[in-house]
């Protein structure tokens, strides 16, 4: 990492957040999923063992030898964006950033001792300056939150799972941790999206970047409102069977679907929490040691309860009804799955999907290391 120059300031006026804690922008589900991950049986043992085994030095040498390191003389505009992002979020040291040749639009932040940010040429060529600024802020948010450590372990374990697939019990043990890590990482992406907005302070640029990751560089053919309507349709459409298929489609992914990320970010940008941060009212890193774990649990539990109550997804609505003491569970499940609702009508909505939802094909920013398939990030 390189020291940040005291003369470095953003290219245009943006609000700066001195001493901001990552708790200010972290999604409640991010924190609760990480706590659940740490409680997973065997995780601490695996984590401690892998910390000394992961080939981090080799990874750094690989980037140094086969990618272009961002600096004042190489990809200078990215160097300025990176320093701006660290200045705004008050990250004490600027992580090294590399540009690697890959047509897929990817970015990631990895590393155990110190984070490394990498972006692909596909991403650099796809996004304009303000869209790219949000992505750089997204990755700096990962660094500030300490996400790079768990991401690095996820990469290693994902590759390891492939190698030990022929060992039934060994594969099951690894995949249990991989599944938990993926669940946490999907939530951490929502946190990093918020960090990207705090850095860029341009919601439209963040929306455009996510649309481009989903549909390519065809903004003249796309519309933000229509893109967000897709997220609404995805959440509410179909019946209980489609809800199950959504879960199955999501399990192998490390990132939420792009429309869902856009909707979540817009909702946060319009919230009082975001405005309070912009007004300078946010938790500081100096207060982190005094932060209450029980308060974090309560906040996470409250978030999940609100999500269930407000969700239009058939499965979540069913869970909410059951939690409220409404009806017989067995009868409801039978009716939803068989369409045998009262009056002969299908219970659970119309327009169900066929489960052929989007497949993680490596486009977008990923958390896969060299030689592995990327995931969307933006």
Q: Which residue reads 């599944």 in tokens?
A: 179
The answer to whether residue 139 is catalytic is yes
Q: What whole-number distance in Å separates Cα of residue 319 and Cα of residue 308?
A: 7
DSSP secondary structure letters along 205-262:
HHHHHHHHHHH-S-GGG--HHHHHHHHHHHHH-S-HHHHHHHHHHHTT-SS--HHHHH
Residues constituting the chain: 378
Q: Are 339 and 314 in contact (CB under 8 A)?
A: no
Half-sphere exposure of 344 (CA within 13 A, CB side): 0
Q: Are 235 and 256 in contact (CB under 8 A)?
A: no
CA of 1: how far to CAs of 46, 71, 148, 268, 284, in Å?
27, 12, 14, 31, 23
Q: Which of 67, 114, 73, 74 is nearest to 94 (CA)?
A: 114
Radius of gyration of the chain (CA): 21
Helix, strand, coil percentages for the chain (3-state, nearest 5): 60, 5, 35
For 116, the token pair is 């490394």
Q: Which residue reads 């590399």 in tokens?
A: 98
The catalytically annotated residue of 131, 139, 183, 264 is: 139
For 161, the token pair is 């799972």
Cβ within 8 Å of residue 121, ≥6 positions away: 99, 100, 101, 102, 103
Instruction: Name the helix (H) or strand (E) containing 117.
Output: strand 116-120
Going by the DSSP 8-state scheme, the letter that residue 309 receives in this structure is H
B/e letters for 297-327, b = 16+ CB within 10 Å, e = fewer, are eeebeeeeeeebeebebbbbbbebeeeeeee
Going by the DSSP 8-state scheme, the letter that residue 364 receives in this structure is S
Q: How many Cβ atoms sit within 10 Å of the Cβ of residue 165?
A: 12
Looking at the annotation, which residues are catalytic? Answer: 139
């Amino acid at each position: 990492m390189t020291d940040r120059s005291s003369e470095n300031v953003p290219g245009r006026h943006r609000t700066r957040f001195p001493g901001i804690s990552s708790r200010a922008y972290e999604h409640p589900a991010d924190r609760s999923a990480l706590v659940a991950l740490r409680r997973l049986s065997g995780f601490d043992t695996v984590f401690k063992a892998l910390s000394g085994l992961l080939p981090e030095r080799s990874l750094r040498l690989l980037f140094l030898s086969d990618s272009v390191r961002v600096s004042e003389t190489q990809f200078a505009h990215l160097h300025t964006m990176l320093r701006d992002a660290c200045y705004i979020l008050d990250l004490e040291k600027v992580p090294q950033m590399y540009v690697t040749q890959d047509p897929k639009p990817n970015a990631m932040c990895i590393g155990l001792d110190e984070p490394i940010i990498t972006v692909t040429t596909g991403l650099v060529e796809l996004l304009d300056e303000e869209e790219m600024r949000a992505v750089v802020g997204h990755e700096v948010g990962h660094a500030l939150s300490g996400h790079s450590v768990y991401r690095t372990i996820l990469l290693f374990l994902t590759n390891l799972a492939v190698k030990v697939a022929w060992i039934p019990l060994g594969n099951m043990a690894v995949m249990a941790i991989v599944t938990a890590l993926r669940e946490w990482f999907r939530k951490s992406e929502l946190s990093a999206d918020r960090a990207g907005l705090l850095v860029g302070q341009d919601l439209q640029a963040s929306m455009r970047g996510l649309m481009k990751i989903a549909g390519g560089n065809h903004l003249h053919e796309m519309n933000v409102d229509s893109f967000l309507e897709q997220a609404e349709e995805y959440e509410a459409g179909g019946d209980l069977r489609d809800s199950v298929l959504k879960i199955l489609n999501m399990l192998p992914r490390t990132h939420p679907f792009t429309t869902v990320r856009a909707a979540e970010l817009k909702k946060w940008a319009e919230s009082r929490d975001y405005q309070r941060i912009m007004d300078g009212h946010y938790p500081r890193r100096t207060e982190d040691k005094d932060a209450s774990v029980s308060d974090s649990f309560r906040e996470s539990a409250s978030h999940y309860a609100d999500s269930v109550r407000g969700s239009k997804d058939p499965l979540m609505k069913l869970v909410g009804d059951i939690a409220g003491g409404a009806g017989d569970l067995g009868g409801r499940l039978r009716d939803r799955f068989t369409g045998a609702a009262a009056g002969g009508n299908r219970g659970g909505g119309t327009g169900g999907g066929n489960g052929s939802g989007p497949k993680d094909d490596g486009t977008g920013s990923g958390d896969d290391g060299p030689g592995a398939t990327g995931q969307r990030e933006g």
